[in-house]
């Protein structure tokens, strides 16, 4: 649920303030160490989704999201800070694309939040006052 809430928050901030998100992303591309930390965090978030997927409503979807997060972390780390800066500069010129990415994050976070909430059984719904 924490990953879902974080992803939703990133989506909301990215929609409302795409320039702020660009500034934040620039700060973690400032040094290779920060880029590696950001990549490690993404990989960790992806692994948490993959490992927790079996206890959710949509295990396959969460595994796919987890793999995608891991690939994001790996690709940024392997391609390096300079490549990431070039992509970031291109994105900063196209703020509409930044908002589209933020919408994707918001929807993804919402889907993850829904997937990790437990469904109430028919017996539990009928027993509720």
Give the separation between CA 117 and CA 12, rounded to whole angstroms: 21
| Cβ atoms 17, 24 nearer than 8 A | no
Output the pLDDT for position 111.
95
Output the pLDDT for position 60.
95
Q: Where are the domains of the chain?
A: 2-117
| Cβ atoms 91, 97 nearer than 8 A | yes
Give the separation between CA 29 and CA 122, rounded to whole angstroms: 50
Q: 């908002």: which residue's tokens?
A: 99
- For 43-73, how does the pLDDT look when each residue is reduced to its tens digit (9 = 90+)? 999 999 999 999 999 999 999 999 999 999 9
Find the mean pLDDT for residues 82-98: 82
| Cβ atoms 8, 107 nearer than 8 A | no
User: pTM of the entire structure?
Assistant: 0.78
């Amino acid at each position: 649920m924490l990953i879902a809430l974080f992803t939703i928050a990133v989506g909301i901030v990215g929609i409302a303030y795409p320039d702020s998100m660009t500034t934040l992303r620039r700060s973690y591309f400032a040094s290779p160490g920060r880029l590696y930390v950001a990549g490690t965090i993404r990989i960790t978030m992806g692994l948490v989704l993959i490992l927790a997927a079996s206890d959710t409503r949509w295990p396959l979807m969460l595994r796919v999201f987890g793999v995608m997060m891991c690939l994001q972390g790996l690709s940024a780390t392997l391609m390096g800070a300079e490549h990431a800066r070039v992509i970031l500069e291109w994105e900063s010129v196209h703020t509409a694309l930044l908002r589209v990415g933020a919408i994707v994050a918001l929807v993804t976070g919402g889907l993850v939040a829904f997937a990790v909430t437990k469904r109430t059984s028919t017996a539990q719904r009928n027993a509720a006052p």
